Structure 1
Amino acid sequence: MLRRLRREAGLSQERLAHDSGVSVRALADLERGRTRGPQRRTVRALAGSLGLDAGDTGALEAAAEAGRPRPRASASGRTGQVGQSEQAGPSGLLSLPRAVHDFTARGPQTAWLHALADDPDPPRAPVVLVCGAPGLGKTAFALHGAHTLADRFPDGRIAVDLCGTQERPADPQDVLASVLRALGTAPRAVPADPGERVGTFRALVAERRILLLLDDAADDQQLRPLLPAAGPSLTIVTGRRSLAGLEAVHRIDLPVLRREESVELLTRIIGPERVAAESRAAADLADLCGHLPLAIRIVGQRLAARPHERLAKLARTVAEEEHRLDALRAGDLQVRAAFALSYRQLDASGRAVFRNAARVPGPDIDPWTVALLADLPRAQVRRRLAELADRGLLRTDPDRERYRFHDLVRLFAAEQLADDDPATLARTADATALRLLARAGSAALRLDPAARPGEDPDPATDPATDPATGPADRHRARAWLETERETWLWALRRAHDTARHRLVVDTAGAMHGFSDRTRHWPEWVTVFTLSAASARALGDRHHAAVHLDRLARARNLCGHDHHAAFRTARAALDLAREAGDSRRTGLALGYGAGVLLRLRHCWPTPSRFYQGLSGGAGRRSGGDAAVRRGEEHQGDQVLGDVVEAVLLAGGDEQRGARADLDGATAGGEGAAPLGHHVDLVLAVR
C-alpha cells in the first residue's frame, strides 16, 4: 500500500525519506513487508509528506494498526515485553522499560558507549557487555544509555529480560521467536529449526539500525544465538557473570561510586535541601552503603518516603553492622535479596567457600586460608573462588591470587554461616589458627637464623607446618608475613583465647627478629601483649620478662605510648630482678633508656621531664619547689638505673643502651651526657 501511495505521489524513496524524516531503510522495509506496524507519528509524517487526504490517511493508519504487535510477555514471562514505549522508534518495535530520572555518574562509560554507537561503518555489529557484582547499577546504566541513544536507532529499540538470575533462565530460541515477531515477522514465518531461526534473525537485523538490550544474561551459551553477526545494530548486554567466553565484544566495567557521586545520587533522590542540611550524615550514609548504587538508592527511597525523617537517624540504624542489611530495604528493593539471587545459583561447595571466605580476617582473601577454614582441598577452593569472582561476588587482585569482598557482600556471606554447625566452625577455626601460626613461625625463622631454638617452634618437627606451600626463601617469607599480617594476628588471638599459651609465646618469640625489621607496625603492641599475658598464664617468669621487654619496646617505638612503655619496662625489670637474671635486668634497664630517649624530647626542661615520669605530680601541686626537687631526685634514680643497664649489658646491647643513655640526657640545662661517666666506670672496671 505504501509503495502504491508513494508512486502515485511521484516521489522516490529518498525524497519521501527526506520529507518525512523516516530513514530510507525503514521505508524499504515497510514497502517490502519486513516491517508491518509503524507508529502513529510515523504514519502521520508519511501521510503529510505524501499529501494524503483523510480517507487515504485513515486507510494507511488502519493497515499500520493491523501490523502492530500486541503486548505479550517476554520469552521468560517477565519484564521483556513487546509493546509500545513513550520513546519507541519510528518502526514501533519492542519497547524499552522506563529509565530512572535521577541517574547519576558513569559519564566516561556513557561517552564511550556513545562513541561506539556513532561509528557509521563498524567492522561487525558491536556488542557491549556490562557485567559485574549485584547492585552496581548495570541495568540502570544500560537503560540510560539506550534511551540517550534512541534517536540513533530509528529502526527500533528492543529490550528483553533474559532472567539469568532466575531458576529457569529464558530459552534463547523462545527469545528469538519473540524478537522476530516484534520485528514484524508473521508468527507462521518464524522458522522452527533453531539454526534457521538464528539465521533469519541475523539476516533481518543486518540491514537495520536496531538497538538490542539483553538484560540479565545467564551465560555465554544463552547469549550466543542472540547476537547479530553484522550490520549497524548495537547490542547492550548486562549480566552478573563475566561472560569471558564471548569473542570480539566490548566490555564496560562499572566500579562502585566515588563518595561525591554517592552523595550526588542521594541528592537527586531526596533533594538538595535535606542533603545540605545534614551533609555529614549524607556522607556517612554513602560510606556505610559502600558506595554501592543499589544501597544508595534504597536509603534514598526510604528517606524520600519519609520526608520528615532525619538523615542522621537512618545513618545510626545503618551503622549497626548486625542490622545493616535489614535496614537496606525499601519496598521490593533489597540488598540482601540481590545477593541471594547469586548465592542460590552456587552449588554446595561453592556456597561453603563463599561462607567461609567471610571468616578470613582482613580485607584480602587467600585460597590457602579459605581451604583450611572450609576444610576442603585447596585446588577445589581455588576453582570456587575464581567462580565467585566470575559471578561478581568477589573482586580479584590485579597482581596476586587474592580476592576481596565488597563490605555488604561480606556481611551477607557471614549471615549464611548461621546455618553451619558451631562445633565444626570452632574446630576448623582452631585447626586454621594452628596451621597459620606454624607457617608464621617458620617464615619468621627464615628471617632470623640466629633465633634461639629453645624459644621458637621447630618447623622440621612441628606436624602443623606446611612445607609444600610455605614460604621457600627469605624474600617470600617476609612477603607472606606482611601480606597475611591480619590473618596470623587473628590466629595468635585465637590461640591465646583458647589457652594455647605455649604456642603464643613461641610464635611471638620467633617474630622478634622480624619485628626489628618492621618497627613501624602498631600490631607489635598486640603481639607482645598477648605473648606476655600467655607467659604469665604459664607461670613462666623468665619468658614473661622477655616479652614484657619486647612489649615495652613496641609501645615505645610502634605504639608511641611512652608512659605505658615505661611502666612495662619497670614491670619487666621487677621480674628480672626477682629471678636474679642480671642479663635480663640489664636489657630491661636498656629498654627503659629507650623510653627515656623518647620522653626527653617531649619536655622542654629536665624539671618538666621528671614531672612526666612521675605522672605530673608537680603540675597537680602547683609547682612546689620541694616536690620538683623530689621529682628530679626520682629522675636521677631512673638515670642511675640506666647506668646500671649499660654496665650489666654487653656487646651490641651495651652500645645500644649507651646510645640511648646519651640521647636521653643530652640537651638538658647544664647537664652533660652520662655516657662519659659510664666510660670512666668501665675504665675503672
Structure 2
Amino acid sequence: MTDQAVGGGHLPPEAMAVPATAAPGRRASGSRQDGAAARRAVPPATSPSVTGFAGRHRELKALYADIARAGLDTLSGRKGARSRVLLIAGRPGSGRTALAEELLRRLADDYPDGVLRATLTGPGGAPAGTDRTARDLLATLGVDAPPGAAEDELTECLREALAGRRALLFLDDAPGAEQVEPLLPDAPDCLVVVVSQGPLTGIPDVRPCALGGLDGAACVEILARYAGPTRITVDPRTADSVAEECGGQPAALVLAGAWLAARPKSSVADLRQALHAVPLPPDLPTGARPLFRAFRLAYEALPPPSARILRLLTLAPAGIVDAHTASALAGCSVAAADTTLGDFAALGLLRPLADGGDAAPAAAAPDAAGHPQYRLPGCLDPLVRVLLGEHERPADVQLARARMLERTVRLLQSCRAMAEPADSPARQKVAGLPRSLRFTSKDVAGHWLRSRRGALLDAARIAVADGELDTLDRRLMAALTRTLLAHQGAEAAAPDLYALHGLVLEVAERRELPREKAAALLNLADLDGQAGRTAQALTRYRGALEAARSVKDPVATGRALESLGGTYTELGDWQRAADWYGRALELRLARDEGADAARLYGRIGGAHTYAGRWGDALKEWRAAARTYRRLGDVAGQARATGEVARVQEYAGRPEEALRTCREAVETARKAGDGRLEAALQLRIADTLERLGDPAAARLHRAVGERLLEDHPE
C-alpha cells in the first residue's frame, strides 16, 4: 500500500537520496541505518531524520505520549482486550501518511511481527471493500482464507491470526470508523495506526493527532532539498513567503520545490510570483487553495503530451501505474511512457511504489516486468480527475480503457506461457512478441503476476462495472484465470478465482449468455462446496443446470447433474445422490459416453452401498464391471469386480464374496495393477479369517504384503 498524500515531510527517493546540491531526479546511494534506541526516541527539533522527514516533532511527541498513556481499560483495572488505536487526522496533502510512516519506522524494532499495511480508500475516493482488505492482510500474514468467505468470516480470521502477535497495523486513508472497526485485532500487544481526515466516532479511547501546517523551518528545508540551498539562502524571506503561500502543506511544498528544481535559472521570487498568478475557482475552500495552486503550476508547465498522460493515469486500475499502463492509455511507446513517469515522480506528481518485500528475480535483459510502479497520490487524484473530465471526450476515455485492457490481456498471455515447457507452442508464439511484452523466465513472470495481482483484479472489476467493454473484459478474465492457475495452482489461486467467476457471472447475466452463466455457476459452486457452503453450492448447481439445459449444452448439463449427486453424497443423502447420478447416467448413455457411464454406475453403486441397499448396489457395480469390460479397461473391470465382492460380504454372503474377489485378483493381474492386486489379496485374507481358515488367510496376506513392497506408491 502506498501513501495517500504527497510529501508530509517525506520526499521522493530522488530527493531523499541525493545531496542538496545534486540535480533533482539524479539517484545516489545513501544509508538509512539507524539504531533501535534512535528509532524509539523522538529526535530534537533541530535534527532532521535520516529519512528526509522534516518537522512534525510536536506531533511525534504527542503520538508517543498517547502510546504510553493508560487506556480506559487500564484505568478500570482490566487488561485491554483490543489493540490501542492511534489516529492521525488531517486533510489530504497535510503529510498525514508520511508522519504515520515515520512513526512506524521508529516503532518497528518494538514489534517483531512486522508492519501490515492497507489503504481503505480506492482511486476516485470510493471506500475499499472490507472483505478485500481483510483478505489482503491475511495473505500478508501467510494465512489462507476460504474462497468466497463473507466479510464477517474474513475479519474474524484476521483477528484470530493477529491474536498473540506483536505487530503494527497501518490503516491509511480511512473514510470513517465503519471501515476501521471490523479490522481492529483483539490483540493488546498490537498497535493500530490510522490515517483519516476526521475523527473515528464510535471507536472508544481514540484521541486524534490533528495536523496543521508545517513550521517555517521544515517548509524551507523541503524547498531546499528540492531546489538546492543556494537560492533559498540568498532569499530567505521570499522562501518564507512561499512557505506561507503553500499553507505549510507538504504536498504543495513538494510540488513547488520540484517546479523550482526543474528551472535552475528561476529564483524563489519567480516561484512566489508564479504561484500568485494561478487563478482560483470562486468556490474553492480556503484550505484547498495552496495545493490547488501548486498542482496547477506544475501541471501547466507540462508539455501537452505529458499533460494528457497525467490525466489518463486516473484510469489506471487500483491507482497503480507502470510504463505499460501509461503506454496503453496514452497510445505512446513504452520507452516514452517510462521516461514520462520518471519525470512525473521527480516533479512530485507520482509516488514510486516499493516492491512490497517480494524481491524480483534478476533478469538477463529488460522485459515486461522491468518497469517500476507508481501511484498517483490521493491528494492529487481528485484534481487530476477534474482535468480528465474537462479535456478528454468520453469516446477517447473509452478507447484508452480498451487499449489498456488489450495490453493487459497480451501481458497475461505472455506471463502464462512462461509456466509451460520451453518447446511448447505457447512459448514459441510468445517468442515472436516485442521484447517489452516478453518475460525472461518463469520466476520473473511469476513475480510480475504477484506484484500486479491487485491491479489485474481491479481492471476486471472496473471493466465489468463500466459495462461497455464486456468482450475485452471476458478475454481479460479468461486470461487472468488461466495465468493464475498456471503459476499458483488451483488451491492457492482459489480466492482470486472465486472473485473472477463472480464477475464472469455478472457479465453473463447482463449479456444473456447462458453457456457462460452455467460455467460460472459451476465454478462458483465447486468453490462453495470446497469451503463447506453446501446449501449455496446446491443452489448454484441447480442454476447452472437450468442455464445449461436452456441451450442444450450436454457438457455443462452432465457436469451439473454429477455435481449435484456429489454434493448430496457429501451430505449423506444417499437416495438423492443416487437419483442425480442416475440422471447423469441417462445423459451419458444417450451420448454413448461409455467411460463416463461406467464411472457413474460405480457412483450409484457406492451410494446404494452406503445406504445399505445391497441388491441395488450389486446391480450397479456389476453394470460398471460389464461396461469396463466392453471398453477394454481391464483395471476398471477389476476395481468394479472387487466392489461387487465387498457388497456381497456386507450382505452376509462371504463365500460368494470370496469367489468374486478371486475373480477380481485374476483381472487385476491381467491389468498389471500390482497395488490393486495387493489390496484384493488382503481382502481375501480378511474374508478367510472370518470363514475360519487362518492358514489360507496367512498365505494370502503374505502375498498381498509382498506385492505392496514390490509396488510402492
TM-based fold match above 0.5:
no
Greater relative contact order structure (CA < 8 Å, 6+ sep): 2
Q: TM-score, normalised by structure 1?
A: 0.42
Q: TM-score, normalised by structure 2?
A: 0.41
